[in-house]
Amino acid sequence: MAVQNRKYNYTPVGNLADIIIQYIRYKRSLGFSYGIEEGVLFRFSLLSHNYPSSSKEIPSGLLQEWCTRRKGEKASTHSSRVNTILQFCRYAGQYGYRVDFPDLPKIKVEKYQPYIFTKEEVAHIFKVADSLEPYPGSLRHIQAPVLYRLLYSCGLRATEAASIKCGDVDLFNGVIAIYEAKFRKDRLVPLSSSMTEVLKTYFFRYRKNALPEDYLFPAKYSDSLTRKNIYSWFRLILKKAGIHHLGRGLGPREHDIRHTFCVHALQSMQEARIDLYAGLPLLSVYIGHKSIKETQHYLRLTAEFYPGILQILIDSGCDIVPNEKEGLHETN
């Protein structure tokens, strides 16, 4: 099986290799990219070498060790790692594998509360990005002003922006093609006239000799930026902008630019007297959500920051306003 990850060989090993390969194929057939999970399953297969067993057994000791929280591990990382393997084990059980599930405590994960930037904060972020000093060997001072404007104006995920190739950008029609995004979905993202002009300037100055298969945002040591690059740059910009970071796992994060785009888009719809009930499906498609249910969480966030919107939705008989106890579940 050819592994999907470009940087690492995640081909599973040991007695569980065949069923892991089968499981990954199954998940990808459902539309999941299964990149991070592929690495998790590979590491699980490595650990299985410490627990010799028949080819049709997943021992309790193996699961117990895997599910033990590691020193310094975040609860969200622990939960994701454990759930990936438990789902795999349930699948393996359907194909004749004997699985000895140990007693596991419930993993408590605090839901992340998105940080919604004000329009003034967004403008200040752009101003700081524009004033970044050159750094030896880095294109940060050139790319950051374009990158963060693109994230905000289009509501892109950081990984989507990092994956854009020069040939994906149609400056004549003002459209960017996003390929193999979350749930392996492709979509076309229209650009505003101002964002199109920003990209035209960037192409003319820095990417005019690039090939269609070259990445829009190349990195110092690799073909393209990573989400880690985008996050670390964003932390620097927030610090210079005087926007306080609340600590590890608490944000603001670069993904909050996407959340902010959605909230501001709904607020703009309301100001333009566009029916939010009709506008929400359009926003859902634009940002690449799998269903409108994912997008409706933004109604609550929008109502929190712009209370008048909630009353408009109630008066219009909208029945998709989420319960306040519901959280925002998208992580990428």
pLDDT digits (tens, 9 = 90+) for 222-275: 899 999 999 999 999 999 999 988 776 677 999 999 999 988 998 888 888 888
Residue 6 lies in a domain: no
d(CA 316, CA 202): 44
Q: What is the dihedral sign for C-alpha 307, 274, 183, 213? A: negative
pLDDT averaged over every residue in the chain: 86
Shared-domain flag, residues 133 and 77: no
Per the structure, the complete domain to which residue 211 belongs is given by: 112-332
Residue 266 lies in a domain: yes
d(CA 258, CA 266): 13
Shared-domain flag, residues 46 and 189: no
Residue 92 lies in a domain: yes
- Identify the residue with better confidence: 174 or 316: 174
d(CA 124, CA 203): 24
Residue 272 lies in a domain: yes
Q: Which of 59, 77, 99 is the last residue of a domain?
A: 99
Question: For the chain, what is the domain count?
Answer: 2
pLDDT of residue 172: 96
d(CA 223, CA 210): 12
Shared-domain flag, residues 208 and 93: no
Residue 198 lies in a domain: yes
Shared-domain flag, residues 183 and 314: yes
- Identify the residue with better confidence: 211 or 245: 211
The share of the chain scoring above pLDDT 90, in percent, equals 55
Shared-domain flag, residues 240 and 301: yes
Shared-domain flag, residues 175 and 300: yes
Shared-domain flag, residues 193 and 323: yes
Residue-wise pLDDT for 114-168, tens only, equals 888 999 999 999 999 999 999 888 899 999 999 999 999 999 999 999 999 999 9
pLDDT of residue 278: 81
Shared-domain flag, residues 64 and 171: no
Report the CATH number that the domain containing residue 199 is assigned in CATH.
1.10.443.10
pLDDT band at 315 (very low <50, low <70, confident <90, very high): low
b or e along 152-185 (b: 16 or more beta carbons within 10 Å of the residue's beta carbon)? Answer: bbbbbbbbbbbbbbbebbeeeebebebeebbeee
Q: Which of 70, 99, 128 is the last residue of a domain?
A: 99
Instruction: Please give the model's pTM, rounded to 2 decimal places.
Output: 0.73
Residue 69 lies in a domain: yes
Shared-domain flag, residues 124 and 66: no
pLDDT band at 31 (very low <50, low <70, confident <90, very high): confident
Residue-wise pLDDT for 188-205, tens only, equals 999 999 999 999 999 999
Residue 106 lies in a domain: no
Residue 209 lies in a domain: yes
Shared-domain flag, residues 167 and 243: yes
Shared-domain flag, residues 145 and 210: yes
Shared-domain flag, residues 140 and 207: yes
Q: 57, 125, 67, 64: which is closest to 93 by C-alpha?
A: 57
Residue-wise pLDDT for 279-292, tens only, equals 888 888 898 888 77
Q: Which of 38, 67, 99 is the last residue of a domain?
A: 99
